[in-house]
Structure 1
Amino acid sequence: MSGQVRIPTSRGVFDAITAGPEDGRPVLLLHGFPQTGLVWERQIAALADRGFRVAAPDQRGYSPGARPEDPADYAMDALVADVVAITGELGWPVFDLVGHDWGGAVAWWTADAHPDRLRTLTVVSTPHPGALASTLRTDPDQRARSRYMTEWRDPATERRMLADGARELRALYGDAVPADRVEEYVRHLSPPGALTGALNWYRGGRPGHAIGTTGVPTLYVWGTEDTAFGPAAAEETGSRVEGPYRFERLPGVSHWVPEEVPGVLNRLLLEHLRAHPGD
């Protein structure tokens, strides 16, 4: 199966983009807020052209067939379980995992819970959760950057973001995301319940246990103009990785790395995958 597909699992039906040869090395790509699997369009093409088998699902809350109403159903354990279910349905016992924004957080936690399932880990923008938690305690700059995470738990957020032609939602993307792609995201998140499902990621509660250090070969990519994640957490991330680690700072690049500098990210991702071929 290739192109736009639906992946039925015990946890819901996930819409996804798939590409590449069926027998290619599998790569799962996880998007963040407020986007969909389309954020990876350029990465999907680059990977598929080089023989990788790629899947980029619309995650819980973004897929209409996997959109529970209770915010408790968006806890991190549930999001990680979705990754396990999706890759199980795809028949991928071992795979490479890539995540951006919230998808990056899920990727870190998946590497912590299921290191035996991952050949490599690539995280874009999002620091290691332990590093983020540490800097939220010690770094005023990061506390200020992360204030929105608490503010968006307010049930009035959906109405405010979609008011005036979704002006506030559109503003989140800045100038880094192409205008036609912004329109696609806004259309996807405008139907009743869709933006609530996406925002429930902020309302799902914190994990009930601490995350450990990561032993999976890891590439971490961070733009110096990221408004959500500052330098303190980005730089501390390396101390939370025990396995092979590569940290790439992208000067002048914003939070929206996959769409702002797709060529740069493609090169780094392919280098990382080739450096760790696994078995």
Structure 2
Amino acid sequence: MPELIHDEAVVNGVRLHYVEAGDGPLVVLLHGFPEFWYSWRDQIPALADAGYHVVAPDLRGYNASEKPRGVGAYRLDELVGDVVGLIDQFDAEEAHVVGHDWGGAIAWEVASRHPDRVERLAILNAPHPDRFRDVLRTPEQLRRSWYMFFFQLPWLPELFLSARDYTTIEEIFRDGTENPDAFGESEVQRYVEAAAQPGALTGAINYYRALFRERVPQELRTVVSGSRDDSDVSVPTLLIWGEEDTALGIELTEGLERWVPDIRVERLPDASHWVQNDEPERVNELLVEFFED
């Protein structure tokens, strides 16, 4: 790794810790669940060496960032505001925005709501919200997404994930990858330490709780009125998808041109949900090529 600068900034009313490296056009890397900035350990040096100013925050509720109380603090409006505020923090008009998992969900929203702030969008194993809505109706995806419904319960998900010294967190990474070298013991322990920060598990799970409280009423209104909020993405988009994702089916990569006309889909057949850690060199190549195209 190049020398990383650890810093923090108050954006959108919340204190975010981030790491940065390199100089040049801004690239913002948004991690997923249950991760933190360290999930981009293989991308930060590659992008910095390619001539980019790379910023990887701990999202609100995670690791060293502030963990506001209450489910409402994790609504999409707030999460999107954090990213836009972070771009402002570095005096940039726009940025390349890259998101994995929940970071990808946020990135989709940033690009649809603020296309003028996103130069290019790269998504790693995170479904477009409208496509996910359609596929979630199928029995197979409902089976895969059981945990999202479990996370709606109070306190029990936190107890489950922290039991036996956070063994479940360890298993999420150890057992969920296609590359045995993706997560060594030291890497896994860093994720455990991040998850064990006071309030971190509740913050992370509140993303799912807030989503259900926000989106389920919205979907019911869609059924009644026949209309939905505009979620089209006009910026150039790259979707990188590990096909061995146990939580998200490959069908989520299909038919996206309806909402994202300028999209390129790259499927990696030997990668899991943790695609940037399973095949870091290929992901790095795809990102640099896409940004420089």
Category of TM-score, reference length = shorter chain = over 0.9
TM score, norm. by length of structure 1? 0.92
Deviation, structure 1 residue 71: 0.8
For 2:190 and 2:230, the matched residues in 1 are separated by 35
Q: Which of 214, 222, 229 is the aligned partner of 1:206?
A: 214
Partner SS for 1:232: helix
For 2:129 and 2:147, the matched residues in 1 are separated by 17
Gap regions ≥5 residues in structure 1: none
Write the letter of the residue equivalent to 1:141. Answer: E
Partner SS for 2:267: strand
Percentage of pairs with the same residue: 38
Aligned residue number for residue 49 of structure 2: 49
When the two chains are superposed, the root-mean-square deviation of aligned CA atoms in Å is: 1.6
Write the letter of the residue equivalent to 1:274. Answer: E
For 1:166 and 1:113, the matched residues in 2 are separated by 36
Partner SS for 1:28: strand
Deviation, structure 1 residue 265: 0.3
For 2:45 and 2:38, the matched residues in 1 are separated by 11
Partner SS for 2:239: strand
For 1:10 and 1:133, the matched residues in 2 are separated by 28
Aligned residue number for residue 251 of structure 1: 269
**May I ask how many residue pairs the two structures share in their alignment?**
271
Q: Which of 242, 253, 270 is the aligned partner of 2:288?
A: 270
Partner SS for 1:203: helix
Aligned residue number for residue 19 of structure 1: 21
For 2:245 and 2:102, the matched residues in 1 are separated by 14
1:152 matched to 2:158? The reply is no
Alignment of 1:1-279 (within 5 A): 3-21=5-23, 24-137=24-137, 139-154=138-153, 155-175=155-175, 176=177, 177-179=182-184, 180-204=186-210, 205-207=213-215, 208=218, 210-242=229-261, 244-275=262-293
Deviation, structure 1 residue 64: 4.4
Aligned residue number for residue 222 of structure 2: none
Deviation, structure 1 residue 10: 4.1
**Which consecutive segments of 4 or more residues in structure 1 shift more than 6 A?**
none
- Matched-pair contact (CA < 8 Å) for 2:241–2:267: yes
For 1:128 and 1:255, the matched residues in 2 are separated by 15
Deviation, structure 1 residue 211: 4.2
Write the letter of the residue equivalent to 2:255. Answer: E
